[in-house]
Structure 1
């Protein structure tokens, strides 16, 4: 009787531990779906204890499980970049995507940058390479400088402080003191 009980228990245990692969398929995430989603996000970035940036986004989709992982901001971003002197520059865009491996951020739709020194730049698309602190676009843009100068062009590249700026095919108004 004990042998029958042990055998019945072992057989029950064996069959109860089998998994039905078909029923678990519902829990697998396809590569087309994000592995995470966040709403009303307020991220603070620090470097050596100093606040360097504040990112606000209504929605973030996490696709870092892909071979070329990224974070997508389908409802846009507001990014405050804080320099070492505590001056704040504000960047807004209707859409953004940040690639993890390259450090490249692609911002699209009503990209607007207002620097701490009152330089104002507007573009439809802008790339920011975080690794080398470089900003660039091949799309038309318009900039308004603190002294009243206005510049329109078909693309530029610059360091993120805008102390180095290479602009292409310019048209604008520049005020010069005599």
Structure 2
């Protein structure tokens, strides 16, 4: 009888141990679904309306359907794969609007690369259209090496294969120009 009880106890302990081993087994395919890959963004946002201020004054409003934040990379950046609309507000409250189908912002350098139907309308009615435009925030400079078209408030039209300018377009260096300019005699 005692031997039978010992046999039942050994079988029970063995069954319990086997159950523990199988219950602790990891299902790696399920576990990997929760891991973040190296190429994945640190965060994603949808339908954003970001407001930027400087010393309590509203300076810009950024609207975008989607943002991907890759700040976890060695050279961190934010990507706007579905485009941006950026309202830039000057000290007098005048608004300039920048639109692009795609944009990427490199935090370390302050460089913004805008691509696809880039459209800039300044507060003084200057209109710029380009396929790609870079904006270097650290030195307040915009430039492109691709064709662009600008129309000034007085009707002056300029088309060229690239330019660089300060961000308010009071200094503009254009390359290989064609256009119409109105000159008073």
2:43 maps to 1:36: yes
How far 1:128 moved relative to its partner? 0.3
How far 1:145 moved relative to its partner? 0.5
- Higher-Rg structure is 2
Alignment size in residue pairs: 164
Identify the residue that residue 5 of structure 1 maps to in structure 2.
Answer: none
2:46 maps to 1:55: no
User: Aligned to 2:110, which of 94, 97, 103?
Assistant: 103
Identify the residue that residue 174 of structure 2 maps to in structure 1.
Answer: 167
Once residues 72 and 31 of structure 1 are traced to their aligned partners in structure 2, the CA distance between those partners, rounded to angstroms, is: 16
Identify the residue that residue 119 of structure 1 maps to in structure 2.
Answer: 126
* Correspondence 1:128-139 to 2 at 5 A: 128-139=135-146
How far 1:36 moved relative to its partner? 0.9
* Correspondence 1:74-85 to 2 at 5 A: 74-85=81-92
Once residues 143 and 168 of structure 2 are traced to their aligned partners in structure 1, the CA distance between those partners, rounded to angstroms, is: 12
Once residues 71 and 20 of structure 1 are traced to their aligned partners in structure 2, the CA distance between those partners, rounded to angstroms, is: 35
Unaligned 5+ residue runs, structure 2? 1-19
Once residues 93 and 20 of structure 1 are traced to their aligned partners in structure 2, the CA distance between those partners, rounded to angstroms, is: 47
Unaligned 5+ residue runs, structure 1? 1-14
> RMSD across aligned C-alpha pairs, in angstroms?
1.9
Q: Deviations over 1:72-125 (max 9, x none)?
A: 100000000001111100000000000111110000000000000000000000
Once residues 69 and 50 of structure 2 are traced to their aligned partners in structure 1, the CA distance between those partners, rounded to angstroms, is: 14
Once residues 114 and 19 of structure 1 are traced to their aligned partners in structure 2, the CA distance between those partners, rounded to angstroms, is: 61
| TM-score (normalizing by structure 1) | 0.87
How far 1:26 moved relative to its partner? 3.6
